[in-house]
Amino acid sequence: MTRPISVILNPAAGRGQAAKLVRELVGRLGPILETSGPGDAERLARRAADDGGIVVAAGGDGTVGEVAAGIYGSDATLAILPVGTGNDFARTLGVASLPVALAAIDQRTAKPIDLIRWRCGDAGGLAINIAGCGFDALVAERINKGFRYLRGTSAYIAAVLTTLRSYRPAALTVIVDGETIETTVMLCAVANAKSYGGGMLVAPNAEVDDGELDLVVVEGIGKVEFLRAFPSVFKGAHLTHPRVRSIRGRSISIHAEPPLPVLSDGELVGVTPAEFEVIHNALKVVVP
Ligand SMILES: Nc1ncnc2c1ncn2[C@@H]1O[C@H](COP(=O)(O)OP(=O)(O)OP(=O)(O)O)[C@@H](O)[C@H]1O
């Protein structure tokens, strides 16, 4: 018997365009369950996962991360309909175009992928794409609060420029698999996948199934130098900058002074100190 398909739709994703796109597919896939706010996709996915089968996350990275958290520990397989704004996790998987994503769901070919488990303060959770702390967390907060009327990449550039005006690098202690690094920091990305922010390849060498996290540390640099080097992130070429370090590990702990805001799949979740670890082969996802 074919395994059931349920669709979890965030109607607000993609600046409200997701609902229209996905409703046109009703009947083709399976029942559509709509979220009504943050946390809803995880709850709906957990319930849908009881039937095993395929649980489709129709939305952007936030929705994909919540659905992944909901089905983690079950027999269900994740699939993605990329109707969000940035769709970065879908880009890494190669399902960023709707026709390719739909064909992949028809084929039902799946592979195991890793997740990130994070903890900061009393909070804890899972991320599927990129977690981390620092400048990029403030940029994400600014976008979530006010820059959504702009299109993907322009929203990020506008938010980067505004955030940079008041940002000061912090003193950083990071421990990767027991090895301590001390430096100053603009941002630390803890990556399972390669990009965030609609195509910024912050961790171009990350692989979602290698059992490791890619830590990319942009050390403290002047604002002019930061802006000069910034465009190289769209090609992943920033890794050759002398103030950018890239390290792989399974467990990463970060302390910063002053404390830095912590990001998980595009959402602010707390402040440092924070800990991140990889969960290898955490769930299966449909791929082309
Ligand atoms: N019905 C809803 N109304 C408003 N917000 C919602 C609703 N359902 C879920 N959300 C929240 O919308 C936020 C953004 O969703 P999501 O990340 O999927 O889309 P996006 O921001 O357009 O895409 P991307 O993250 O790929 O740029 C998430 O934090 C989610 O919790």
Report pLDDT for 51: 81
Number of domains in the chain: 2
Do residues 141 and 254 share a domain? yes
Report pLDDT for 154: 74
Q: Scan for tokens 């955030």, then name that residue.
A: 163
pLDDT single digits (tens) 53-85: 999 999 999 999 999 999 999 999 999 999 998
Q: Where are the alpha helices (DSSP H) in 149-203?
A: 152-166
Atom of ligand 1 at shortest range from CA of 36? 1
What DSSP string runs through 225-286? HHHHHGGGGGGTGGGGSTTEEEEEESEEEEEEES--EEEETTEEEEESSEEEEEEEEEEEEE
Instruction: Evaluate whether residue 248 is within a structural domain.
Output: yes
Neighbours of 20 (CB within 10 A): 11
What ipTM was assigned to the predicted interfaces of this complex?
A: 0.96
- Find the CATH number of the domain harbouring 162: 2.60.200.40
Q: Cα separations (Å) of 67 from 39, 43, 52, 77, 266?
A: 9, 8, 13, 10, 15
Do residues 40 and 183 share a domain? no
Do residues 123 and 104 share a domain? no
User: Distance between CA atoms of 90 and 151, rounded to whole angstroms?
Assistant: 18
Report the residue count for the chain: 288
Do residues 101 and 175 share a domain? no
Q: Whose CA is nearest to atom 17 of ligand 1?
A: 62
- Token pair listed for 88: 């970065």
User: Distance between CA atoms of 279 and 149, rounded to whole angstroms?
Assistant: 35
Report pLDDT for 150: 59
Do residues 167 and 190 lie in contact, with contact meaning Cβ atoms separated by under 8 Å? no
Q: Cα separations (Å) of 53 from 71, 75, 202, 214, 237?
A: 10, 7, 33, 31, 39
Atom of ligand 1 at shortest range from CA of 88? 26
Report pLDDT for 280: 98
Q: Whose CA is nearest to atom 9 of ligand 1?
A: 37
Q: Scan for tokens 């018997």, then name that residue.
A: 1
Do residues 28 and 129 share a domain? no
Identify which of 157, 182, 144, 154 has the alpha carbon closest to the alpha carbon of residue 266.
144
User: 17 in helix, strand or coil?
Assistant: coil
Report pLDDT for 248: 98
Q: Whose CA is nearest to atom 10 of ligand 1?
A: 37
- Token pair listed for 247: 């390290």
pLDDT single digits (tens) 132-174: 999 988 888 888 776 655 556 677 778 888 999 989 999 999 9
Report pLDDT for 208: 98
Do residues 163 and 227 share a domain? yes
User: Distance between CA atoms of 159 and 143, rounded to whole angstroms?
Assistant: 6
Choosing from 108, 134, 169, the residue where a domain stops is 108
Domain containing 64 equals 5-108
Q: Which residues of the chain have pLDDT under 50?
A: none
Q: Which residues pair with 200 in a beta bridge?
A: 196
Choosing from 108, 127, 157, the residue where a domain stops is 108
Neighbours of 38 (CB within 10 A): 11
Q: Cβ < 6 Å from ligand 1: which residues?
A: 10-14, 35-38, 40, 59-63, 84-87, 266-267
- Find the CATH number of the domain harbouring 57: 3.40.50.10330
Choosing from 68, 89, 108, the residue where a domain stops is 108
- E strand segments, 83-177: 110-120, 123-127, 130-134, 170-176
Do residues 138 and 230 share a domain? yes
User: Distance between CA atoms of 200 and 185, rounded to whole angstroms?
Assistant: 19
Q: How far is the CA of 156 from the centre of ligand 1 (A)?
A: 16
